[in-house]
A and B are shown apart, each in its own frame.
Chain A
C-alpha cells in the first residue's frame, strides 16, 4: 500500500479536490471526518460535479 495518503475533509471544496487530483496525479482520495475514514472521492465524482462527462474507455 501507499502509506499516509493525501486525504480531504468533508468541507474541502470540489475545486480544491480537482486541483489536488491534477497536482498529485491520484484518481481517488480518502475522505476524513474528525480524523476518521468517512468515504472516498474519485476523479469521476469530481468530473461529474463539474458537469464534465468522463471519457468512455
Chain B
C-alpha cells in the first residue's frame, strides 16, 4: 500500500466562507459550524485566505493591543461599531505597562 495522502484523511468540502462576508457573518458561521476557522473561498473556487478566531480581535500595527470586534452578553452577540477605532487610538496613546498584556 502506498503512503497515505491528504485525500485519505481530509474533510471534503469542509465549510468555507466568501471574501465578501462581514465580520458578523464570520462569527455566526463559526458558531453554526462549531469551528474556530474557515477557509475564505472566492466565486472562482480559489482559496484566497483563511479566517480564524484570532482575526476577530483588532491588533494595532505593533500587534500588542487587542480590542474585540464583538462580545457575547446574556446569550446574545454585541458587535462594536467601527467608531471603536477612535477608542483604540486613545488607548494607544496611553503609556503601556508590560505586565498589563493579556
Interface residues in chain A, defined as those with a beta carbon under 8 Å from any beta carbon in chain B: 1-5, 7-15, 17, 27-28, 30-32, 35-42, 45-46, 48-49
- Of the listed stretches B50-58, B79-87, B88-96, name the one at the interface; the rest are far from the partner chain: B50-58
Within 37-56 of B, Cβ neighbours of A (below 8 Å) are at 37, 39-41, 44-52, 55
Interface residues on B, range: 20 to 34
Assembly CA distance A48 to B10 (angstroms): 11
Q: Do A4 and B14 touch across chains, with their CB atoms under 8 A apart? A: no
Q: Do B6 and A2 touch across chains, with their CB atoms under 8 A apart? A: no
Q: Is B4 an interface position by the 8 A CB rule?
A: yes
Q: Do A3 and B49 touch across chains, with their CB atoms under 8 A apart? A: yes
Q: Which B residues touch A40, using CB under 8 A?
A: 10-11, 14, 39
Given A28-B37, A32-B47, answer yes or no on A39-B10 (Cβ-Cβ < 8 Å). Answer: yes
Residue of B3, B5, B47 touching A7 (CB-CB under 8 A) = B47
Q: Which A residues touch B72, using CB under 8 A?
A: none
Q: Do B6 and A41 touch across chains, with their CB atoms under 8 A apart? A: yes
Residue of A5, A11, A13, A49 touching B47 (CB-CB under 8 A) = A5
Assembly CA distance A14 to B46 (angstroms): 23
Residue of B4, B7, B9, B48 touching A3 (CB-CB under 8 A) = B48
Q: Is B8 an interface position by the 8 A CB rule?
A: yes
Q: Do B12 and A38 touch across chains, with their CB atoms under 8 A apart? A: yes
Q: What are 20 pairs between A and B in contact, CB < 8 Å?
A: A1-B40, A1-B52, A2-B52, A4-B49, A11-B7, A12-B5, A13-B6, A14-B5, A14-B9, A27-B37, A31-B6, A31-B10, A37-B46, A38-B10, A39-B10, A39-B11, A40-B14, A41-B6, A42-B11, A45-B9
